[in-house]
Amino acid sequence: MLSAEGRLDFGALQQRARRRGHTGAAAAARHPAHLVVFDIFERRDRTLMRYPQHERWDVLAALFARQALHAPWTLISCTHDRDRDERWFDPAYAAVGIEGVVVKIRRAAR
């Protein structure tokens, strides 16, 4: 969710989920939000957990490319480039409300 200042506001999102007496549809209409995803664990009743995360991300990206997933779902950026990784820690990202990054160790499939 975005704050009045245009920043991402995770606290407001948590409050949206806690409001009693509101249906999910009413909360979504009043306070729209997007679900940001970075991993997929199952596809068509087939587990993907034994595959490395970068391969699972490729499956997820393909779903967005085919528009099988679309708003309110949002695919988050993914990179294996260390220089780009480090730029994501720039304070400019915090200024718009991005609170962190997810880091996964890249391993071969088992």
Give the model confidence (pLDDT) of 11-27 as tens digits.
777 777 666 666 667 77
The pLDDT of residue 43 is above 70: yes
For residue 31, pLDDT over 60 is answered with: yes
Would you state the structure tokens that stand for residue 85, as one six-digit string?
């990784």
Give me the pLDDT at residue 3, please: 63
Q: Can you give the pLDDT at residue 59?
A: 93
The span from the CA of 11 to the CA of 60, in Å, is 27
* Single-letter residue type at 22: H
* Per-residue pLDDT reduced to its tens digit, 51-94: 988 889 899 999 999 999 888 788 887 777 778 777 777 777 77
Helix, strand, coil shares of the chain, percent, nearest 5, are: 35, 10, 55
pTM value > 0.75 = no
Regarding beta strands 46-47 and 42-43, do their DSSP bridges make them parallel or antiparallel, or are they unpaired? antiparallel
